[in-house]
Each structure stands twice: as C-alpha cells, then as structure tokens.
Amino acid sequence: MPLSSPRVLAVIPPMTQLNTPYPSTAYLTGFLRSRGMDARQVDLALALVLELFTPAGLAQLHDAVRALPDAKRTPQTAWFAAEFAAIAAATPRVIAFLQGRDPTVAHRINTRAFLPEGARFASLEAYVDEDGGDPLAWAFGALGLQDRARHLATLFLNDLADVLRDAVDARFEFVRYAESLAAAQAHFDPLAEALAAPPNLVDTTLQRLTLAALSEHQPDVVLLSVPFPGSVYAALRIAQTIKAARPHVVTILGGGYVNTELRELAEPRLFDFVDYVTLDAGERPLLALLEHVAGKRSKTRLVRTFWRDGSEVRYTNFVEPDIPFDDVGTPTWDGLPLDRYLSLLDMLNPMNRLWSDGRWNKLTVAHGCYWKKCSFCDVSLDYISRYEAASAEVLVDRIEAIVKETGQTGFHFVDEAAPPKALKALAEELIRRGVAISWWGNIRFEKTFTPELAQLLADSGCIAISGGLEVASDRLLQLMKKGVSIEQVARVTKAFADAGVLVHAYLMYGFPTQTTQDTVDALEYVRQLFENGCIHSGFFHRFACTVHSPVGLNPAEYGVTLQPLPPGRFAKNDIAFIDPTPTDHDGLGQGLKKGLYNFMHGIGVDSDIRSWFPVRVPKTTVPKRFVERALTTTR
C-alpha cells in the first residue's frame, strides 16, 4: 500500500569515526526536513562501540575470550583475561573521560597505575628519553594533563579493540570495519559469504541496536549511508536485520563508496539486502524514490537509481536537475547524541589529532571542486566535477543555525579543496557578523592565498589548513596538473604558518615516472619546508591509480600501462599498473616516512637527506637554500 508521507530513518553504519558524526545523515535529514518530511537519524557506529564496552558487553567479550581454544589465544587476549576485573572497572571511567564528562579522571589515568596496560602501550617505549625520564614529556610537557591522559585512554581502548579483533572478529577496527570485503572487490562473493556466516558478538550487538532503532523510530524507509569501504559490511548486516524483522521497510544504499566504486553495479545479490542503490548527491534521487514509495511516481522515473527487476539489475536515470547547493537546506545533528562521542588522541601528529579528537560540525563550502584537474583524483565523478558554490550569506546562515543547534563552534570544512574566493567571502561575512568559530579544512596551496588572505582567514577562525604538495617535484606537479609549483607552495604555507595556522602537507610517492632522484629531491624539499617554518605536519601516501582518475582513464599520457581489471559485477576502483621506470618505491617509501616523522618532531632537520633511506640513494640536486630563496623573492 502506498504511504502518503513515508517516515525516513538515516543510518551511519559502523565504522566511520568516533569523535564526531560523519555528516551525510545530517545533510539528508536536514534536507528532508526542509521539505516538510519526517526524517530522523541514528549513528550505529558510535552506538556499537559504546555498547560493546558496557559492563554487559565486556562480560560477553570475557566469555568469548575464555571460550577460545589454546591455539587461538594471543598476548592481547591473555592480557584481557588476566586483568579483566581492573579493565571492567576502568572502562566506564575511560569512556566518560573521553566523552568529556569526567575530566578529573585524567589525574588517575596519568599515574599509569590505574589503567591495565596491554600491548598498545609498548608504543610509548619509543619515546623514553636517555635519562629514563617521562616518556610522554616530549609530547605533552609537564602540564598537558588532559592530553596526556587522553592519549593513554586511547591506547587502552585500542587494546580493547585488539582483544575484540583477536577473540571475536579479525576484521574489527575503530575507523574501518571489514574494509577488504568491499574495497575494489570485483566480486560480491566475499561479502555474501561473510553475511551468511553465523553472527558473532559484534553482529549480534549490531542486530540488537538495529532492532532498537526500528522500534524507536518506526521508519518506513531506511537510508544506509556508506562513505567508505570500511562501512559496507556492517551496512549490509543492518539491512539483513531489517529485512528479517520488517520486510516491508524500504532500504536504500548510497554514499561516497557507492558513488565511487559501484557505478557499474550489476550484482543482483546486493538486492537481497537493499531495495535501491543511488548514485551521487542524494537529495534529488531521494525525493524521486520517496515519491515512488508514496505511489506518486513510477519506477521508470527514478533518478540515478539501481534496482532489481527479476534477476537483472536495472539503472534508471530519469534526468532531473540536482537540487542547487544553495537550496539543500542546513544539515541538522538533531537526534545524534553529541555528548557521547569519544575524543580520541591516537597518533601524536597534530593534524591526525584534528581528525580523531574533538567535536567538529562538518560543512561543505561548495559542492565539488573548483579546480578538478589533478590527474590522480576522481575528477570524472559528480562529487568533484559538479562545482556549485553558495553565497557567503547562506553559508554563515547555516553556520549560525548549526552553532545554535549543537552549541559547538568548531567546523571542519569537508571540501576536497575549498575555493579561495568563497573562503575570503566567508571570512569577511563571519567577521562582519561577529560570529566566532574555529575552522579547518583542505585547500590547494595556490598563489591566490596571499599573506593578507591567510591573515584574514586566521582572523575569521581558521586554525589549520591541509593541502597537497603531493610528489614535491615541479616536473611531477606539472604532469599531475596540480597547478602549483614548489616555490608557490613554500610561500603559501609560510603565509599560513606566519598567521598562526597549523599547516599539514599531503605528500605522495610512487607516481608514474617518478625516479629515485625525484624521490630524494622530494624529501629534501620537505626538509627545507620544515626548516623554514612553512609546514608543521605531513603524511606520505603511496599513489594508487583509480579507474575514474585521468591516470586510470588515459594511462599512456602518464607512461604507464594498466593491468586488466578482474571481470566482476560489483565494485571497481583501484587498478594495478605497470610503470617501466625502475624505482624501488617500497624501499624509498620507508625513508620518506622516517625522515618526515623525525622532521615533525624537530629531529635531524639539518642532517643529509640520504641518511633516512634504507637503500643507497644519490645526492639531492635541490639547491640548499631553495625554499629560503623562494620566500625572499617577490612573486
């Protein structure tokens, strides 16, 4: 029977991140409400972790550990069994502390006698100073009481996650769950098998939480949002529970993973779990689907939607314009337990810290990327290629509404690369209205970011900026059409650093045609950027070729040949390639990471760059004062 106005429940499945909600359900809920619909949301990722670490959850984990055959016991499970009473007593305090509800526990945690310490605490040994002093003093000084305790508490939770991994589910992690079952998986078989396996403790806990959400919200339609491959398996477990308990509830799958990897979906078995799968921005396809569910629109007029017809997968795209970015409404966090998120302090890297610590309202300054040329990026996909901005007035209206609703003033702008013009207008509007927020996000280090603009952004609340320096090599930056040069990056990053903004560089190695010399020179440029106070933090990623990127679409232009993709009806993303350039990226990668890690801690910034590499490498060809000179020459 058609429903006049279906009630919608949007779900964040495990796992995404635990410190703050992933924003897709906030966007979709806000949008549907702006159209007068009954829309709710629930974060089952957070709920799952909190439930597993309740006294009852820990007792069940204890049972699972005790039931392990000898051959399956690990040092982590032995630690858990031996320390169970102390672990069970400490866990609720640790959770309350990480939720910010019980800050004084920090003193107990810092004694290092309160939390039972498992294998994760071994990482602290790396920091013991030569005099045998306090291993965390270098990171937190004598005073950083809360941060130090937060780091120790995070190590404790990581130990518990490892016990779950060893005793219950080898695929369990806090920020990704069973990722390899979905990432670039040409075949659905691994997921199908996993979903058919008898439920373990994680599955049954998720089942219970799903049923509770169904009975609380009584939805007619459930939206399962999967931003990453590491949330697909759990999304389908949730869908499976819904289908078994309430077969009439309509289930829809969408999100970044679907938009990237399932564009050529032809696997009918996925529809045993979900009724529809939609591509790209969700607003328009969802309106069409909800009209269909209400009996007001036929299936032939669905928008960007896969569905199963008998044993065939069909894709219907009745072309209707997307909802303009100006008109998607304000995201709402209403319904999410904002005081229950866990501020984790995982890696002692200042930028990683922003990702995992603290409650950030997530907002996009624009839809898509204004540059959309970088050859390693999925520029052919809608979330990059359809660039649409909103006026500064609309953005600041949204910001004010969100601050009013959540009571929190931290913003993460989640654009791939926030546009400088829009940021400038936004900063001016924030300052004009006297709206005090802190914000951070990703940009391209392009020359529009002058020292004056960097200062203006800092004045408007910008506390951190990340951007791609990628393979720090002018030849390769040109080949990848990044549109920046190293000299420019030096000036822009210095401008932000001088304005008191934390600067993080995304770095890459293994790009087509990259030679050993390019790699050594890249680390030398990075060294000089640290030496000159331009950047504070960075991370080297290994280049991966994807099917929707210019390299994947035109490999010959980049001097590589692609390996054929395995035939399959499910996901497509990463693709292997052959680069005839004889470079040992594995060996060199270790050197890059080691050098960078040390520079971030101010160590060895003046030593010869060759010393970081485990393999013999040539001397750098970069002039010793390249960055210093770039900073003193006028543009």
Q: Does position 260 bind ligand B12 by CB under 6 A?
A: yes
Which among 149, 150, 181, 168 has a CA at the least distance from the CA of 53?
A: 168
Smallest gap, in angstroms, from Cβ of residue 275 to ligand B12? 10
Smaller CB distance to ligand B12: residue 294 or 414? 414
> What 3-state DSSP class applies to 361?
strand
β-sheet bridge partners, residue 274: none
416 forms part of the interface with ligand B12 (CB under 6 A)? yes
The interface with ligand B12 within residues 213-232 (CB under 6 A) comprises 223-225, 227-230
Q: Which span (199-207, 283-291, 308-316, 620-628) binds ligand B12, by CB under 6 A?
A: 283-291
Per CB under 6 A, 477 contacts ligand B12: no
Q: How far is the CB of 508 from ligand B12 (least distance, A)?
A: 13
Backbone angles phi, psi at 559, to 5 degrees: 75, 20
Q: Are 420 and 369 in contact (CB under 8 A)?
A: no
Question: Residue from 13, 14, 116, 285 that binds ligand B12 (CB under 6 A)?
Answer: 285
What would the x/- binding string for ligand B12 be over residues 524 to 563, using CB under 6 A? Answer: ----------------------------------------
Task: Determine the 3-state secondary structure of 183 from DSSP.
Answer: coil
- Of 116 and 358, which has the nearer Cβ to ligand B12? 358
Q: How far is CA 499 from CA 435, 458, 464, 495, 580, in A?
A: 19, 6, 10, 6, 44
SS3 category, 592: helix
Q: Check residue 254 for interaction with ligand B12 (CB under 6 A).
A: yes
Q: Closer to ligand B12 at the Cβ: 284 or 424?
A: 284
Q: Which residue number, 229 or 420, has a Cβ lying nearer to ligand B12?
A: 229
Count of residues touching ligand B12 (by CB under 6 A):
39
Q: How far apart are CA 115 and CA 91, in angstroms?
A: 9
Among 210, 278, 473, 519, binds ligand B12 (CB under 6 A): 278
Choose one: 16-24, 192-200, 394-402, 506-514; the region binding ligand B12 (CB under 6 A): 16-24
CA distances from 615 to 271, 506, 551, 556, 599 (A): 50, 24, 28, 30, 19
CA distances (Å), 65 to each of 32, 57, 205, 222, in order?
45, 12, 17, 35
CB of 241 to ligand B12, least distance (A): 16
Interatomic CA distance for residues 379 and 449, integer angstroms: 23
Out of 30, 282, 420, 510, the only residue in the binding site for ligand B12 (CB under 6 A) is 282
Residue 399, judged by CB atoms within 10 A of its CB (0-12, 13-18, 19+), counts as buried
Nearer to ligand B12, 79 or 271 (CB): 271
- 363-372 b/e (C-beta count within 10 Å ≥ 16 → b): bbbbbbbbbb
How many C-beta neighbours within 10 Å does residue 308 have? 18
Q: Which parts of 25-44 interact with ligand B12 (CB under 6 A)?
A: 27-28
Q: Which is nearer to ligand B12, 491 or 504 (CB)?
A: 504
Cα separations (Å) of 277 from 82, 305, 542, 581?
47, 6, 31, 41
Burial of 75 (0-12, 13-18, 19+ CB in 10 A): exposed
For Cα atoms 277, 552, 416, give the angle at the middle one, nearest 5 degrees: 65
Give the shortest CB-516-to-ligand B12 separation in angstroms: 26
Question: 363 or 437, CB closer to ligand B12?
Answer: 363
Region from 15-23, 85-93, 501-509, 589-597 binding ligand B12, contact rule CB under 6 A: 15-23
Phi, psi of 497 (to 5 degrees): -60, -40
Give the nearest distance from C-beta 401 to ligand B12 in angstroms. 16
- Report if residue 8 touches ligand B12, rule: CB under 6 A: no
Q: Report the alpha-carbon distance of residue 518 to residue 475 in Å, rounded.
A: 9
- Residue 330 is a binding residue for ligand B12 (CB under 6 A): no
- Stretch 107-126: interaction string toward ligand B12, x if CB under 6 A: --------------------
Contact residue for ligand B12 among 255, 329, 358, 461 (CB under 6 A): 255
Q: How far is CA 114 from the centre of its chain?
A: 32
* Nearest-angstrom CA–CA distance, 46 and 337: 9
259 binds ligand B12 (CB under 6 A): yes
Which member of 240, 332, 343, 364 binds ligand B12 (CB under 6 A)? 364
Contact at 8 Å (CB) between 256 and 286? no
The span from the CA of 539 to the CA of 407, in Å, is: 32
Residue selected from 315, 383, 387, 597 as contacting ligand B12 according to rule CB under 6 A = 383
> Binding ligand B12 by CB under 6 A: which of 6, 13, 14, 23?
23
The dihedrals phi and psi of 113, each to the nearest 5 degrees, come to -115, -5
Find the shortest distance in angstroms from Cβ 573 to ligand B12.
Answer: 5
Residue ranges in 233-252 that form contacts with ligand B12 under rule CB under 6 A: 252
- CA 205/CA 179 separation, integer angstroms: 19
Is 283 a binding residue for ligand B12 by CB under 6 A? The answer is: yes
Q: Is 22 in the site for ligand B12 (CB under 6 A)?
A: yes
Number of C-beta neighbours around residue 313 at 10 A: 19
Q: Is 573 in the site for ligand B12 (CB under 6 A)?
A: yes
φ/ψ of 136, rounded to 5, equals: -100, 5
Residue with smaller CB distance to ligand B12, 87 or 258: 258
Q: Which region, judged by CB under 6 A, interacts with ligand B12, from 78-86, 106-114, 130-138, 274-282?
A: 274-282
Of the candidate residues 9, 13, 14, 16, the single one contacting ligand B12 (CB under 6 A): 16
Least distance between ligand B12 and beta carbon 547 (Å): 11
Q: By the criterion CB under 6 A, which residues form the site for ligand B12?
A: 16-17, 22-24, 27-28, 175-176, 223-225, 227-230, 252-257, 259-261, 278, 281-283, 285-286, 355, 362, 364, 378, 383, 414, 416, 573
